[in-house]
Amino acid sequence: MAAHSPEIKVLQLACTLALSAEKKGQLIDSIAQKTLNWDRLYRLADRHRLTPFLYQAAQSLPNVPEMFLTALRSNYQTAAADSMIKRHQYRLLDKLLADNGIDHLAFKGVYLAEHCYPEGSLRISGDIDVLVRPADAFKTIQLLRKGDYELNPKQTLYCQDGEQRLLTELSEVSLFKRLFNDNYIDIDLHWKLLCFNKNYASFELDDVLSPTNVQTEMQVILLVTHHGVTNIWQQLYYINDLYFLLNDKPIDWSWLMQEMRRYGMERIFLVGLYWCQQLGHLSLPTPVQKLVAAPDIRALADAYEKNWETSEPLALSKLVLSQLRYFASAQTRFGLKAKIYATFVTSRIFRASTFKIGRRLVYVPKELGFITVFVRAIRSFCKFIPTSR
């Protein structure tokens, strides 16, 4: 693996269900060397959503500061309660959609906590991700809004422009509802799951459900699309997600690798498998193991790992450019690399946009996309210019 700070090394060692004697010894050595910045370790554990794993490991280690353990315990208890609430809210959502004849599929956080992690409290979830058919999207939004869920102002503008505009211009919306005090439940409602961008590839509910004998494999494809392509593997819990989704499952590896190759995600997937083996000793079939062991996969993994040290995940314009850079560099076929660059340009020009003028949010339709691209370009460029204070 690439060279890392002592704090990231500790998180990598703690990123396991049960500490082996070897890993426990390495953690004890890390503490004994007195090179750990405990405040930074806590912040990074929180950023990588690994506080449950770190708390689990830290309890069995000597010389861990009591204040650090207390902070971890509080964070873990809060996260566990939050996870329980979200899983309960998902079950209510599941029943609501089923009662109204809306087929749907949960994926990512709530699905993994419910079906893959040995304990749901180990998976800290953000929002609830649900995929429905495009034909049911507008109906589902209206159903949720009747149940006190709200859209943000930007997405409300798209909704007001009509169902067809919403389905054409967007692939998902976020709805939120206040539960109590300052606690909210957020639902990310998808009718298309984009792979890189809408002009490159996308998945709809029927694409995911139709191959009934490879449902776990489809969940893996969706996970790699989100964690690897869209979010460039920049948080360590993404590796846990992949590990627990695959571990001890009967996987059709031949079919899965073929699909990954078709979408240009093969090497991005192999990088994830490399980390699953480094951190969790995931067992792989020999042909896949040989691919994972290739030097170019190790080099690609090292490039991704540099993002683990940052205090916050990349966001907005920097993330968009990083998606392009990493996805293109993961390709070995010229045709796919050319498609990535071409769709990146076209998807960012011909699309609807919203702009804030003063306190007013203005909607500009897709037909004027060739104009709004210049405004978006200027805004993106300005984010890279340091401001004086």
Give all domains of the chain, ordered by start, each with its CATH number.
6-64 (no CATH), 82-254 (3.30.460), 316-382 (no CATH)
pLDDT tens digit sequence for 284-301: 999 999 999 999 999 999
Which residue type sits at 198? K
**Cα 330 to Cα 326: distance, rounded to the nearest angstrom:** 6
Positive or negative, the CA dihedral 133, 340, 215, 237 is negative
What does the pLDDT average to over 104-123?
90
pLDDT (mean) for 314-326: 90
Note the pTM of the prediction, 2 decimals.
Answer: 0.88
Q: Among all chains, which residue has been given the structure tokens 């990088």? A: 271
3-state SS class at 119: coil
179-217 per-position pLDDT tens digit: 877 678 899 999 999 999 999 999 999 999 988 899 999
Partner residues linked to 107 by β-bridges: 129
List the single range of 34-48, 133-147, 237-251, 373-387 with lowest mean pLDDT: 373-387
Half-sphere exposure of 140 (CA within 13 A, CB side): 29
Task: Name which of 97-101, 122-126, 154-158, 289-293 the model is least confident about.
Answer: 154-158
Q: End-to-end CA distance of the chain: give it in Å, rounded.
A: 39
Closest CA to 68 of 53, 55, 79, 49: 55
Q: Strands 360-364 and 353-357: what pairing?
A: antiparallel
